[in-house]
Amino acid sequence: MYNDFAEVYDRLQDADYETFCDYYEEIFKKLGKNPELVLDAACGTGNITIPMARRGYDMIGLDLSCEMLNIAKEKAQRAGLDILFLNQDMCEMELYGTVDAILCALDGVNYITDKNDLKKFFSLVHNYLNPGGVFIFDINSVHKLQNILGGNTFVNEEDGIFYVWQSEFSEETNICDFDLSFFVENKDGSYTRFDEFQQERAYTIKEITEIATAENLDVTGVYKDFGFSTADDCDERIFFVLSKKIG
């Protein structure tokens, strides 16, 4: 996953990363936290890691894709930032010590399609968080994967890239398959094609809460997009705030 796609990822993403960072800081403030060392799990090309580092946090970026990390490293170097990047599967991560906060943005958790792997990840989050540490992540909801993305085809062209995105949701597995075909314009006007296959699993709020609780993580908040109103499974994007129990 994310091999050729790494080259065009930033050109296609329309997320407002500074809004994510603002929201993380609002959550820190709401909880009375002042984290210093922060892990960005499934960091991709560093679009959260780098602006958080600019804000003064000591950041670690972790991702399974070497191609994504290479781009993240180049961006960090150009920005004059000293960030540790680790090429690891977040379900099997091995850090050098504990951290004050862990972030996982833009439905990184949905890419964990096996429930047992999600349990492993939450167990590792508990292991590597300092007491009272906070874990913030967002997911695409069941509603979004099943009713908005699932069963639909999206076609778009922007910034020299034409792509077709076909999605199919399985109610049996709660997994949404994404078949993506990209045609990237070259300097001579020709196009290079590459294909990607990705999967996201839909998790209900209840499922996430039960797994978190089993791994000794307190569910501090379940919020609608960038706010503090309580979310439900009908919202498209849901933010979770988990804390490591003290004592």
pTM over 0.85: yes
- φ/ψ of residue 22, rounded to 5: -60, -40
**Residue 49 burial class via C-beta count within 10 angstroms: exposed 0-12, middle 13-18, buried 19 and up:** buried
Instruction: Give the model's pLDDT for residue 247.
Output: 62
The mean per-residue pLDDT over the stretch 44-53 comes to 97
CATH fold, domain 143-201, is N-terminal domain of TfIIb (2.20.25)
Architecture of domain 4-141+202-244: 3-Layer(aba) Sandwich (3.40)
Contacts of 43 (CB under 8 A, 6+ apart): 49, 61, 62, 63, 68, 69, 72, 85
Residues 163-196 pLDDT 10s: 999 999 999 999 999 999 999 888 898 998 989 9
> What tokens does 65 get?
């894709």
Residues 103-150 pLDDT 10s: 999 999 999 999 999 999 999 999 999 999 999 999 999 999 999 999
**Residues 216 and 243: beta-carbon distance below 8 Å:** no
Cα separation, 123 vs 101, whole angstroms: 15
Q: Where are the domains of the chain?
A: 4-141+202-244, 143-201
Contacts of 59 (CB under 8 A, 6+ apart): 38, 39, 40, 49, 50, 52, 53, 81, 83, 84
Q: In what order do the strands lie in the sheet with 175-185?
A: 153-158, 161-170, 175-185, 191-201
> What tokens does 203 get?
């998790």
Helix (H, G, I), strand (E, B) or coil at 216: coil
**Per-residue CA distances from 94 to 37, 40, 47, 159, 241 (Å):** 15, 14, 22, 38, 22
